[in-house]
A and B are shown apart, each in its own frame.
Chain A
């Protein structure tokens, strides 16, 4: 299972990075978002840590939509999706492969968002980098678990493309709240937030949506 899901991921990443469009678009949109929000404060004035974290996760949320639309549309060309459905692999492996590809692409996009937050929003102090990166990874997994499931829903149905963003944002609220609160903690002075509570919420969210995705994905994507 491990290797076949990684085969799917390697193929997706090769296609996205060789073409470029699938990663350039979310990165540019996120950077524009950060830049525009930087104009909301007077010159020289720092944006609060909470606001900076909110902007970071907002840019990431938009990236989730674009990334998973791209990843699932890769299977639309020449109906490779049918080939995958006929292959001797459980349908869930496709979800895992897409989620892993999405995670890598999201991290790639965030590599641009973080410096932009530092430059444009004046967040030049982040304490406890390893813990901050750990919390980003956890929140990212929640985002890709939901994104990979709902990206499959939008596959090949243009009317549902718009539905994806409508459905995905309310579902992401708990994990985004946790991400913003933890981000405020790490961008700020490292006080005033109950990190343990938010961490528990993210872990529960991830477990719930990973389980739900593994159960529901065959019904969403397995039908011809």
Chain B
């Protein structure tokens, strides 16, 4: 039974710690992600951001602690460094395949509309192997949007994207958030992305050096550091 404060919580981590072999990556990470909120994961290289988002998404199990996602698997989406695109398939075929795997019945028109939305209008039937890194990432974004996710895991989603594509990505994140999706976002362009965040988890020295509202992070950490 959920407590009242748990209403609207999509993802909860309780005292999550992780090791690689004997090396501690981070310890005792606890958080709650609510509907329609954006959590940014930040920290220096090697702090464990990608490991933590992999744990949150269910890709790896934590060494200790618990992860509870209150969203069904088919309503979770992951957009990261890897695009999951098959180079030998066209954009449309890639989307059609993932739609089938997720049990979605999407018409060719629906899928084409998605590709137009992410700026791949003229490349619907082109094989993904001919795409630039930014285009491949946009195809991956189309896959994520197709799932209409309630929980999104974004691990540096703007990798390889130009300024226009990054703006389009932010627009889609805003739109998903307005629909009530919870978003976990690993960002390396913190100052650019902070405006969209509700919460920030800053990993440093193998622990959560900061966990709180984005506004506090700006004043207490970013501005203090400057």
Q: CB distance A224 to B60 under 8 Å? A: yes
User: Hey, which chain A residues are within 8 Å of B84, CB to CB?
Assistant: 78-80, 82-83
> Which of B71-79, B112-120, B159-167 is the contact stretch?
B71-79
> Which size class do B's interface residues fall under?
20 to 34
A88 interface neighbour in B54, B73, B86, Cβ under 8 Å:
B73
Q: CB distance B59 to A11 under 8 Å? A: no
Q: Does A77 contact B (CB under 8 A)?
A: yes
User: Hey, which chain A residues are within 8 Å of B83, CB to CB?
Assistant: 78
User: Hey, which chain B residues are within 8 Å of A18, CB to CB?
Assistant: 88
Q: CB distance B101 to A15 under 8 Å? A: no
Report how far A78 CA is from B97 CA in the complex, Å: 15
Q: CB distance A77 to B87 under 8 Å? A: yes
Distance between B226 CB and nearest chain A CB, rounded to angstroms: 37
Report how far A11 CA is from B85 CA in the complex, Å: 12
Q: CB distance B57 to A86 under 8 Å? A: yes
Q: Does A74 contact B (CB under 8 A)?
A: yes
Q: Does B211 contact A (CB under 8 A)?
A: no
Q: CB distance B59 to A84 under 8 Å? A: no
| A 10-35 to B, binary, CB cutoff 8 A, 1 in contact else 0 | 01001100110000000000000000
Report how far A4 CA is from B87 CA in the complex, Å: 20
Q: CB distance B102 to A80 under 8 Å? A: no
> With A78-B82, A86-B59 as given contacts, are A224 and B103 in contact (CB-CB < 8 Å)?
no
Report how far A185 CA is from B82 CA in the complex, Å: 51
B8-28 residues with Cβ-Cβ distance < 8 A to A are: none
Q: Does B89 contact A (CB under 8 A)?
A: yes
**From A15, A78, A80, A86, residue with most partner B Cβ within 10 Å:** A78
Report how far A8 CA is from B57 CA in the complex, Å: 22
Q: Does B136 contact A (CB under 8 A)?
A: yes
Report how far A4 CA is from B57 CA in the complex, Å: 22
> With A7-B100, A87-B101, A88-B73 as given contacts, are A19 and B88 in contact (CB-CB < 8 Å)?
yes
> With A15-B89, A77-B87 as given contacts, are A88 and B59 in contact (CB-CB < 8 Å)?
no
Distance between B21 CB and nearest chain A CB, rounded to angstroms: 15
B54-100 residues with Cβ-Cβ distance < 8 A to A are: 54, 57-60, 72-74, 76, 78, 82-89, 93, 97-98, 100
Report how far A224 CA is from B73 CA in the complex, Å: 17
Q: CB distance A4 to B82 under 8 Å? A: no
User: Hey, which chain B residues are within 8 Å of A77, CB to CB?
Assistant: 85-87
B100 interface neighbour in A4, A83, A224, Cβ under 8 Å:
A4
Q: Does A85 contact B (CB under 8 A)?
A: yes
Q: Does A173 contact B (CB under 8 A)?
A: no
B76 — nearest CB in chain A belongs to which residue?
Answer: A86
**From B74, B89, B101, residue with most partner A Cβ within 10 Å:** B101
User: Hey, which chain B residues are within 8 Å of A4, CB to CB?
Assistant: 100-101, 103
Q: CB distance B93 to A14 under 8 Å? A: yes
User: Hey, which chain B residues are within 8 Å of A133, CB to CB?
Assistant: none
A82 interface neighbour in B59, B85, B98, B100, Cβ under 8 Å:
B59
Q: Does A36 contact B (CB under 8 A)?
A: no
17 contacts between A and B (CB under 8 A): A4-B103, A7-B101, A14-B93, A15-B86, A15-B89, A18-B88, A74-B88, A77-B85, A78-B84, A80-B84, A83-B84, A86-B57, A86-B78, A87-B73, A87-B98, A88-B102, A88-B103
The 3 lowest CB-CB distance pairs between A and B, nearest first, are: A83-B84, A79-B82, A7-B100
Q: Which residues of A contact B (CB under 8 A)?
A: 3-4, 7-8, 11, 14-15, 18-19, 74, 77-80, 82-89, 224
Q: A8-B101, A77-B86, A86-B76 are in contact. List 8 more A-B contacts (CB 8 A).
A: A4-B103, A7-B100, A77-B85, A80-B86, A84-B101, A86-B78, A87-B73, A88-B73
